[in-house]
């Protein structure tokens, strides 16, 4: 006999990217920032009053929320601080979607969304993206026709890096009958001023997800936040969120890191510059690499013949084989065995040295000089 709920018994959990302990592995598979977090993080830990841990932490993370509100020109009431973006995704579902109701998303998308939907026992409804990863014109109409209660849209898109134009986002928000959860986990790497917080706060149905995991080099801290109208933020703050969802140490670390915009912006700039370089280098080797607005590239692996070398002519490796051969060389990238993904690799942007190691390894595997 099993005590597990039926919907859970039928499902498998979310599979995160590999996290090898091995320090010599070059990790370009889970989109971490290759540069370290602000030096203010060290200061916070040095100055942290351990005695304060005896007591419960600030219940609503007010210090962090004030910092985020200042940064985005909104009120603290428009901000909810969460244990990584993941907690916000879960809260949006458990607050606004009843079991049995539909949750909408694009295909492909962040693979955690369908898992969270299954936990709440909600069917998913998928609208395929266009070939160039843009969002189809009829996206909102399809969601509305399907009676979707919550629509997830990751922008810039994962795993492609495509950015939906701001005007289209505004239009989508207006057209959708449902809540729009705009997952902006990678927005810091767009290189443009993001205008969406104002859009969310002025709306009655848009919640924006932000995270310190990527742009602030703090994946290990598990700190994210949501921005939206008070009507949507308040029930998550006062009802569905675990009371005291964030500990006293990480609240202070997150606030310090968010306030050090100068440091963060420098890392974004370096990542963007390397992204351009890696994109060109891969394109030169025959990969198809669309422009990315994130800290990763989605590259279609060339399947043509190798340049003729005397009489030997071979098929080139497919994406899965290339993934494996890179892994043998201690370089991890992400391969998704999923429709439209099987000929592609998702490659996080590393430091210049890491990227060189990757590019050299691919050159070596492909036998070109």
Footprint of a second copy on 120-149 (CB under 8 A): 121, 149
Q: How many chain residues bind a second copy (CB under 8 A)?
A: 78
Task: Report the residue number, 246 or 278, with the smaller CB distance to a second copy.
Answer: 246
Binds a second copy (CB under 8 A): choice among 68, 78, 80, 84: 84
Q: Which stretch, 56-64, 140-148, 188-196, 352-360, contacts a second copy (CB under 8 A)?
A: 56-64
30 binds a second copy (CB under 8 A): yes
Least distance (Å) between residue 287 CB and a second copy = 26
Taking CB under 8 A as the binding criterion, the range among 122-130, 162-170, 217-225, 331-339 that sits at the site for a second copy is 217-225
**Widest Cα–Cα separation across the chain:** 75
Sequence-distant (6+) residues with CB within 8 A of 174 are none
List, as one string, the DSSP characters of 20-85.
---TT-EE-SS---SSPPPTHHHHHHHH--GGGGGSPPPTT-HHHHHHHHHHHTS-GGGEEEESHH
Binders of a second copy in range 226-265 (CB under 8 A): 231-232, 235, 238-240, 242-250, 253
**At 210, which helix (H) or strand (E)?**
strand 206-211
DSSP-derived pairing of the beta strands 150-154 and 103-107: parallel
Cα separation, 331 vs 361, in Å, equals 9
Residue 13 sits in the site that holds a second copy (CB under 8 A): yes
Pick out residues in 179-208 that bind a second copy (CB under 8 A).
179, 204-205
* By CB under 8 A, residue 154 contacts a second copy: no
Nearer to a second copy, 217 or 362 (CB): 217
Which tokens hold the place of 4? 């597990």
- Residue 289 CA to residue 280 CA, distance in Å, equals 8
Q: How many C-beta atoms lie closer than 10 Å to residue 290's C-beta? A: 14
Q: Is residue 222 at the binding interface for a second copy, with CB under 8 A as the rule?
A: yes
Give the binding range for a second copy (CB under 8 A) out of 43-51, 73-81, 125-133, 351-359.
43-51
Query: Using N-to-C axis directions, what is the helix angle for 84-96 and 112-119, rounded to 10°?
Result: 40
Piece in contact with a second copy (CB under 8 A), picked from 160-168, 212-220, 294-302, 340-348 = 212-220
């Amino acid at each position: 006999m099993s005590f597990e709920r039926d919907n859970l018994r039928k499902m498998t959990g979310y599979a995160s990217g590999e996290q090898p302990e091995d320090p010599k592995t070059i990790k370009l598979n889970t989109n971490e920032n290759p540069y370290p977090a602000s030096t203010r993080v060290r200061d916070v830990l040095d100055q942290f009053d351990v005695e304060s841990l005896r007591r419960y932490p600030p219940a609503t993370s007010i210090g962090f929320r004030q910092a985020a509100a200042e940064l985005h020109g909104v009120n603290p009431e428009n901000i909810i601080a969460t244990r990584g973006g993941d907690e916000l995704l879960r809260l949006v579902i458990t607050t606004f979607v009843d079991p049995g109701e539909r949750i909408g998303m694009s295909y492909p998308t962040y693979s955690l969304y369908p898992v969270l939907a299954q936990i709440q026992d909600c069917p998913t409804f998928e609208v395929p993206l266009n070939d160039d990863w843009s969002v189809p014109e009829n996206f909102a109409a399809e969601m509305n026709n399907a009676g979707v209660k919550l629509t997830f849209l990751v922008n810039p898109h994962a795993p492609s890096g495509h950015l939906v134009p701001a005007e289209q986002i505004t239009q989508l928000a207006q057209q959708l009958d449902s809540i729009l959860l705009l997952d902006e986990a990678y927005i810091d790497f767009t290189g443009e001023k993001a205008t969406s917080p104002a859009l969310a706060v002025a709306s009655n149905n848009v919640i924006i997800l932000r995270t310190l995991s990527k742009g602030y080099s703090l994946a290990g801290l598990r700190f994210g936040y949501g921005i939206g109208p008070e009507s949507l933020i308040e029930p998550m703050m006062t009802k569905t969120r675990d009371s005291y969802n964030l500990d006293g140490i990480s609240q202070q670390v997150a606030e310090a890191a968010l306030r050090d915009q100068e440091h963060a912006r420098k890392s974004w700039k370096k990542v963007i510059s390397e992204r351009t370089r890696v994109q060109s280098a891969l394109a030169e080797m025959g990969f198809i690499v669309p422009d990315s607005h994130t800290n990763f590239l989605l590259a279609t692996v060339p399947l043509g013949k190798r340049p003729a070398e005397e009489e030997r002519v071979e098929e080139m490796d497919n994406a899965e084989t290339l993934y494996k051969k890179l892994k043998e060389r201690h370089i991890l990238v992400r391969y998704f065995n999923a429709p439209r993904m099987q000929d592609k690799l998702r490659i996080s942007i590393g430091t210049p040295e890491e990227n060189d190691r990757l590019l050299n390894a691919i050159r070596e595997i492909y036998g070109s000089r």
